[in-house]
Structure 1
């Protein structure tokens, strides 16, 4: 009997039941339920009474002056919050701490929407369609629904040529008979590799034929009229599909992705959504892509500059507030030379291409342009030229192949360079000042290197500190990278204004002199915990051993000086780590244990994180 697939506890298929309460994208921190506690157990109540006595002795909470002083000195909250404690009694004190007002995380400040869009960090997803690892997981529209409801504002779509719809005609049956021996041989050749990949990574199976998938009702965008679904007869033509090319990942139709984006794009946020396209389709299939996007996103898609008189070379980036409820396409921008007219295929024609799911020799690596780092890795397969109609949809996000920071296209206001984490680290080490200068004015996107087949994530804070606006992460993996993403975008609508020194008006030349750096002494006191859920593999609370680990994500010395970052920035673990003593219960009593960090240097408020 074959061994069961190795389960990765940090990978998970997208949640479809209240995904907005799943952390990672920032929306969970804005939910009122996430900021409140229904009740306190006896241990926590005991500590709260002790704290109340200490505060009451020092500040005299039963007086208006004492309450105001306590809020100003220790809570750093407005004096108006004192009204929430009313008479300053213990019962009101306890109510305050179980309410959202007493949460340790302050609510996010409203974003200033008046800046050009390159002055913001954007909550972004990598290979959004995947539900697990990069080699053998399923592609699902639920993945798009999940990240959009969690606050993601930049999704990725890899598009490949579709295959013609199946037919029961005798002509097709004869053709299938003639080619069956070839297909059988191909299946045998692939079987060994496929089995190994499926056993190593697992794979979500399709529902049995005839079984309908349960679909949850669509949430309605607040104050918006939903656009009526568009229908077209797609049963007589090949249509583009979405998958991770040259792997065992399961596919879905581009049409379904467009429909899901239409339905969920502006439910959690009314700020613009960027759709980053990786185009591997033929010219004919690209025309269908344009047709589908134009029709499904009608009224939302930005297909012309806000000022139609501007050209792609001199167009200026609009402000964030000018693009509310708009979908922006990021696609390769190319110059087009006149070509001989080519007859369009009939509705039954399909491009003759090698299916990206029919190759076994290349299933070991990611070969899209967004997943190759060095010549030592498998080179990307040649991609078809992007047609003009599709390229023109990249109004404010025209993708260009990165050749350097001093090439002519690097000064086009609407260009965007997409670089793997490894390439970006090399640019940082060789030309940090130019990298920082570029990212103050123009867009850059960072994505995980192709060797991260388990969907692990890069360390986003390193790239944010270089001014990179779009740091794409694998949202299906819960790791340090996604925890930092939650910290950056907690309680926001997915766009966060950069620190002042990182904006296009700043005279700063490097991160070192663009923002103030400080030393930090941090002390955290742990009281107790309650009702911690047991992991799925545990059923006895006495076998459960919880502790709290604290990590600080701070700029390294080499990073600030433009040198080589140790490990290439590949790890998303903090540099300063401490933890509490281990308990043996689901209701741990930490006994007011204190975790301290003293003399931490190179701290910047907006770009340093406590995890």
Structure 2
């Protein structure tokens, strides 16, 4: 699979008005500039004159009654739009189409925040820190800024052990940008008194995975009996300790400080939405660095972080999920918890979703979340860049102080929908797209029932090296709330994400039959299915930007392709879904004739779809 840097669908995060960038849903509501045009070309003006004349005869647009009838019957607008048409002249008709009122997307309904949070679909990002492909791209805080301003409400952070910092002033200045304290020169003598021996410091610099087998059997720091808490490597300055870093492990991707990510999330979490933000942690760090993670999250997210249940008298296994309204402007951590029952010694091998490259004489480690989110029906082996399958490694352990931050989003290893942890109100199962489709095939009724009450997360399989996306609507229709997508790629998956969340604050209430209050037992009966006849008339295109690879408008050949993303009969009837939900292409697709200009004239060409079965208003998309 290609990972070319010239992939036209991949792009570094836009920082110039990212809220106007499609994919996250905010573009349709955040700024009028996303819904209006400054002018119409002579070609468009000609078509509007013709259409006005036709409508004037049909509706008598010169009268206020005729204007009202056209707006309510055909345009589905409100009385407020009447002022744009005024006397119904062609000039005012022209002004109406320049305004946002003529947008094909109707405004989203206000979100009903009274339901428990598992009753919503959530706009979600996968490997949020990456700016390109999964193998060799940069990691950047700009990626977090970009998706948060576009309406994302669930971001992902893969956290690894950091290197011990150098004494260089550039390192110090870089960290101080994110609030690290300044170090006085006289304090440098304290380096030898940091409380850690040379071996421990080397482990932190080069990673615990380099420790000997004997060392790994020893506790990393003194613990009290029955307590997982580890003494943190405290310091008045970051200079004397390694701090966690964020990257895609065992790849060529670049890293960035966990501190910097926390600062960026603090600054942009609630710029475009007041609804809660979920931070999904994949923890690869040693216990000491996990303590630093907790320290930094408490430092940067003070006043925003949910670190105690709304009802502190109940344990994490007993508390119920709060309503969306109760969590406004709050950051929720999703992190691994210990299993309810101790696993037996002979366990099946976990399946990582992290791309793993060879490391001589070292055992590979996978994240706690990767292990927790895997299912053992069919192993998805880790694969190195050269295609060689690699062995898996033991689960890293998440310490209590970090695990306890997963108040309402505790990750558990998926053993089945009847496992004890599947009944815990605050649990989350994370499964790869293929694993989740296997559950859908073998136990669709159980999957649908589970997702009415509890959280589930779907993520792209590890072999999507070019950051391609799964087909999100297949998983939404199975009730999955968190469908994680690669926002740096503009493809069919992100187009559907735009359709789902357009004009919303990133949380969308599920259809009534999908909610915890419903008694509907299956996906097939949860919503009303219709037959659809759809026709779309194309007038013209205007000022279409040339692709980066083109420089001559005469060589540009635009056309419009239309796809319907409709529930397949296999989804409704508990059968294997073709392609396991991987393909983003709609089952129904047609396209216009090809033109040869940046201002194409489609000549009122009509594309029709007739007798389309299985259409649901909330979960069918036109792309």
Report deviation, 1:72: 2.0
1:157 aligns with 2:161: no
CA distance 1:606–1:128, shift in 2 (3 Å): same
Q: Distance in 2 between matches of 1:117 and 1:74?
A: 36
Cα distance in 1 for residues equivalent to 2:360 and 2:533: 54
Could you tell me how far 1:81 is from its partner in structure 2? Answer: 2.3
Helix, strand or coil: the match of 2:334? strand
- Indicate the residue corresponding to 2:115 in structure 1: 115
Mapped partners of 2:499, 2:112: distance in 1: 19
Once the two structures are TM-superposed, the CA of residue 567 in structure 1 deviates from its matched residue by: 1.0
Q: What is residue 312 of structure 1 aligned with on the other side?
A: 316
Deviation at 1:512, TM superposition (A): 0.8
**Alpha-carbon distance change, 248 to 143 in structure 1, aligned in 2, over 3 angstroms:** same
CA 1:5/1:54 → structure 2, altered by over 3 Å: closer, same or farther? closer
Query: Equivalences for 1:276-295 in 2 at 5 Å?
Result: 276-295=280-299
Following the alignment from structure 1 to structure 2, what is the Cα–Cα distance between the partners of residues 361 and 452? 27
Pair 1:596 & 2:600 matched: no
- Residue aligned with 1:122, SS: strand
Task: Name the counterpart of 1:419.
Answer: 431
Q: Residues of 1 paired with 2:365 and 2:8: CA distance?
A: 23
| Aligned mates of 1:365, 1:427 — CA distance in 2 | 26
Residue number in structure 2 paired with 1:241? 245
Q: Residue by residue, what CA displacement relative to the aligned partner does 1:508-535 show, whole Å, maximum 9, x if unpaired?
A: 1111101000000000000011111111
Deviation at 1:84, TM superposition (A): 2.4
In 1, the alpha carbon distance for the partners of 2:271 and 2:557 equals 39
| Pair 1:330-2:334 in alignment | yes
1:445 and 2:493 matched = no
Q: What is aligned with 1:8?
A: 7
Distance 1:363 1:60 in 2: 77
2:18 alignment counterpart = 19
SS of 2:605 mapped into structure 1: strand
Aligned to 2:142: 142
Higher deviation after alignment, 410-419 or 130-139: 130-139
The Cα shift of 1:357 comes to: 8.4
Superimposed CA distance per residue, residues 166-189 of structure 1 (whole angstroms, 9 cap, x where no aligned partner): 2589x99xx9xxx9xxx9xxxxxx
Change (3 A) 1:574 1:55: same
Shift of 1:359: 2.7
Q: Which secondary structure does the structure 2 equivalent of 1:38 belong to? A: coil
Work out the CA distance in 1 between the residues paired with 2:401 and 2:485. 29
The aligned counterpart of 2:595 is: 583
1:166 equivalent in structure 2: 166
Counterpart residue number, 2:88? 88
Residue 353 of structure 2 corresponds to which residue in structure 1?
Answer: none
Work out whether residues 372 and 380 of structure 1, in 8 Å CA contact, stay in contact via their aligned partners in 2.
no
Task: Measure, in 1, the Cα distance between the counterparts of 2:276 and 2:602.
Answer: 44
Structure 1 residue 5, shift from structure 2 partner? 5.6
Deviations 1:323-382 (A, max 9, x none): 111000000112699xxxxxxxxxxxxxxxxxx888379999987437867425135432
The DSSP-based 3-state class of the residue aligned with 1:607 is coil
Counterparts of 2:538 and 2:89 in 1: how far apart (Å)? Answer: 24
- Shifted more, 97-106 versus 463-472: the winner is 97-106
Deviation at 1:161, TM superposition (A): 1.0
For 2:595 and 2:363, how far apart are their aligned partners in 1?
Answer: 45
Whether the 8 Å contact between 2:340 and 2:420 is mirrored in structure 1 is no
Task: Assess if the C-alpha contact under 8 Å between 1:247 and 1:366 holds in 2.
Answer: no
Tell me the distance in 1 between the aligned counterparts of 2:491 and 2:316. Answer: 39
- Asked if the contact 1:372–1:449 (Cα under 8 Å) also holds between the matched residues in 2, the reply is no
Give the equivalent residue in structure 1 for 2:182. none
CA-CA distance at 1:268 after TM superposition: 1.2
Q: Deviations over 1:253-310 (max 9, x none)?
A: 1111111111111111111000000011111111111000011100000000111112
Q: When the two structures are superposed, what TM-score results if normalisation uses the length of structure 2? A: 0.82
* Corresponding position of 1:252: 256
Counterpart secondary structure, 1:600? strand
Cα root mean square deviation, aligned? 2.5
Q: Which moved further from structure 2: 81-90 or 576-585?
A: 81-90
CA spacing shift, 1:302–1:247, aligned 2, 3 Å:
same
The alignment partner of 2:157 has SS state of strand
Unaligned ranges ≥5, structure 1: 184-230, 338-355
Matched-pair contact (CA < 8 Å) for 1:370–1:447: no
Question: For 2:73, what is the secondary structure of its paired residue?
Answer: helix
Count of residue pairs brought into register by the alignment: 535
TM-aligned CA deviation for residue 109 of structure 1: 1.1
The change in CA–CA distance for 1:143 and 1:410 in structure 2 (over 3 A counts) is same
Q: Calculate the TM-score normalised by the size of structure 1.
A: 0.84
**Within 1, Cα distance between the matches of 2:396 and 2:580?**
33
Distance 1:336-1:44 versus aligned 2 partners, 3 A rule: closer
Corresponding residue for residue 346 of structure 2: none
Q: Is the contact between residue 272 and residue 328 of structure 1 (CA under 8 Å) also seen in structure 2?
A: yes
CA contact 1:366–1:450 (8 Å) conserved in 2 = no
Is 1:29 the counterpart of 2:28? The answer is: yes
Runs of 4+ more than 3 Å apart: 360-374
Aligned partners of 2:339 and 2:421 also within 8 Å: no
Structure 2: tracts of 5 or more residues without a match: 169-187, 193-197, 207-234, 342-355, 383-390
Displacement of 1:6: 5.0
Q: CA deviation at 1:83?
A: 2.8
The offset of 1:78, in angstroms, is 2.2
Measure how far apart 1:7 and its partner are: 1.5
